[in-house]
Amino acid sequence: MDDNGILLAKDIVKVFPGSRALDGVNFSLRRGEVHALLGENGAGKSTLIKCLTGAYRRDGGSVILDGETIDPKNPLGAQALGIGTVYQEVNLLPNLSVAENLYLGRQPRRFGLIQAGRMKRDARDLLGKYGLDIDVSASLESYSVAVQQVVAIARAVDLSGKVLILDEPTASLDAREVEMLFDVVRNLKAQGLGIIFITHFIEQVYALSDRITVLRNGRLVATRDAETLPRKELVTLMLGHELQEISKSTRPKAEQFSQPRYRFKNYGKPGVIKPFDLAIRAGEVVGVAGLLGSGRTETAELLFGIRTPDSGSKALIDGSEVALTSPRTAIVRRFGFCPEDRKVDGIIGDLSIRENIVIALQARRGWWKPVSRSEQNAIADKYIKALDIRTTDREKPIRLLSGGNQQKAILARWLATNPEFLILDEPTRGIDVGAHGEIIRLIETLCAQGMSLLVISSELDELVTYSTRVLVLRDRQHVAELTDDEITTAHIVNAIAAREVKQVA
């Protein structure tokens, strides 16, 4: 540990039943440094933070703060030792005043009574240091999220004062607010605090950080100086790709397709995703790549009518204009959508596998035309066999199935509706290797049968294998479209990492 080090984590191990969430991770933080912690979902960022703050008890390794080994039992203990945390969702009490939030649990008292006047004065002074001049007796919720973040930071720094952990603080802020927050962070850095910064926005990483640590699958990938780490290399580190040139020669060329079946013109929604144009032909697989938070899922939700696009946006299906205002209207047009979070958005836990498979078909037919029980059984059995859903029988509640089998059942739900356009959001996430391959094969078969697919995936290999075109998203806009020979993992990584070029209108 160098002289300037304030926090050192060595060989941290955290084991959850069935998985090793952290596997011998080393992490060091210096005084007066902003250290970005990066990695895709499930990489172990949050687990590492929780081990540092005592929210989880680590199963191995040591944490050294200011030269002393610490073992906080809970976040409060860590706070007392000097490690403060500010989360994306501000964890203060919105209906209390700003001053009360700052001094909650440690209000200045005299004879056991709270000195409201002194508390307000102190609060004003404290926030003054952050360049914030607000009415501290107003309730916290009357201020913007950015101000709430600063209040949370002020409280955390005032309580702990050595290390500040910022867990995605900018996720719901606009550009001006981000700048204001960054000024606050730079100020604290100048005061000698060590700051750990977690975010998904690459631009912000470079704007603020001195060093960058990348985690992947619970392992430390690299710790590098921000200045000497090119963007492209950072994205490669995060996505874990060795930049092998994989591309499939059998993939059909984009131009051999006929007219587009689906055209989305100027499709967008303010604050969700910038307007984009998208045309999809029959028998085509359009891959969507981008980091988390880049607008991938939002694109899918817009296309499926879960979010209604801006009034200027239009969808053309087979040449006729259609307003996709709800999933129902999309389903009538033979759309299907397998959501990313299948536990929340996909499965209907207590219903049987059979019911989960037939439910979309039933919903489209209408309640007065029930799919007969024998028909239901036939459909369920057909897809249980075709997709190799591992279950003892079709009447088992779907929540008892493993993740991969649930995913296959959701796929079966849409295949049973005989869709013409299928949107798959991370179809292979959290699925074992066997099922993984089966789902990729299924995507290729469906496409060969003339179905149009839009597949969102973090697995670039996968996208390269089956996509006829790849859309690349960054910072909630479509930034590139790769076709034919351009579809390689290297190109995709380049497009994701490319520095934003100001477009001249």
Partner 1 sequence: MSDTVSLLRRLSPQLIALGVILFLIWLVFPAFFTVTFQNGRAYGSLIDVLNRGAPVALLAIGMTVVIATKGIDLSVGAVMAICGAVAASASVSGQPIAVTLALAIGIGVLCGLWNGILVAFLNIQPIIATLILMVAGRGIAQLITEGAILTFDDPALAFVGSGALFGLPFPVVTWIVVALLVTIVLRWSALGMLIEAVGINRRASMLAGINAPVLLIAVYVLSGACASIAGIAIAADIRGADANNAGLWLELDAILAVVVGGTSLLGGRFSIVGSLLGAMIIQAINTGILLSGFPPQFNLIIKAAIVVVILIIQSPEAKTLLTFLKLPRWASLGASKGAEQ
Residues that bind partner 1 (CB under 8 A): 304, 306, 326-328, 331, 337, 339, 344-351, 355, 359-360, 362-371, 413
Q: Enumerate the β-bridge partners of residue 109.
A: 114
- Of 61 and 327, nearer to partner 1 (C-beta) is 327
- Of 29 and 347, nearer to partner 1 (C-beta) is 347
**Do 268 and 310 touch, CB atoms closer than 8 A?**
yes
- Of 313 and 376, nearer to partner 1 (C-beta) is 376
Q: Where are the alpha helices (DSSP H) in 4-86?
A: 45-53, 75-81
- Of 139 and 308, nearer to partner 1 (C-beta) is 308
CB of 160 to partner 1, least distance (A): 38
CB of 50 to partner 1, least distance (A): 28
Q: How far apart are CA 251 and CA 234, in angstroms?
A: 29
- Of 344 and 505, nearer to partner 1 (C-beta) is 344
- Of 253 and 365, nearer to partner 1 (C-beta) is 365
Residue 477, SS3 per DSSP: strand
Q: How far apart are CA 93 and CA 305, in angstroms?
A: 35
CA 281 to chain centre: 29
Cα first-last separation, the chain: 51
CB of 392 to partner 1, least distance (A): 15
CB of 368 to partner 1, least distance (A): 6
**Do 306 and 335 touch, CB atoms closer than 8 A?**
no
Q: How far apart are CA 145 and CA 151, in angstroms?
A: 10
Residue whose pair of structure tokens reads 């039933």 in the numeric block: 362
CB of 377 to partner 1, least distance (A): 12
Distances (CA, A) of 229 to 29, 186, 220, 362: 18, 21, 16, 53
Element (H, E) at 382: helix 373-386
CB of 361 to partner 1, least distance (A): 9
Q: How many CB atoms lie within 10 A of CB 370?
A: 12
- Of 13 and 371, nearer to partner 1 (C-beta) is 371
CB of 345 to partner 1, least distance (A): 5
Tell me the residue type at 180: M
- Of 40 and 345, nearer to partner 1 (C-beta) is 345
CB of 266 to partner 1, least distance (A): 25
Task: Supply 310's token pair.
Answer: 């801006």
CB of 356 to partner 1, least distance (A): 9
- Of 17 and 366, nearer to partner 1 (C-beta) is 366
- Of 363 and 498, nearer to partner 1 (C-beta) is 363
- Of 237 and 380, nearer to partner 1 (C-beta) is 380
**Residue 218 CB burial class (10 angstroms; 0-12, 13-18, ≥19):** buried
Distances (CA, A) of 148 to 152, 155, 172, 276: 6, 11, 12, 33
Q: How many CB atoms lie within 10 A of CB 381?
A: 14
DSSP state of 86: E
CB of 329 to partner 1, least distance (A): 9
**Residue 210 CB burial class (10 angstroms; 0-12, 13-18, ≥19):** middle
Task: Supply 235's token pair.
Answer: 């994205």
CB of 369 to partner 1, least distance (A): 8
Task: Work out the angle at residue 186's Cα, subtended by the Cα atoms of residues 181 and 191, and round it to the nearest 5 degrees.
Answer: 125
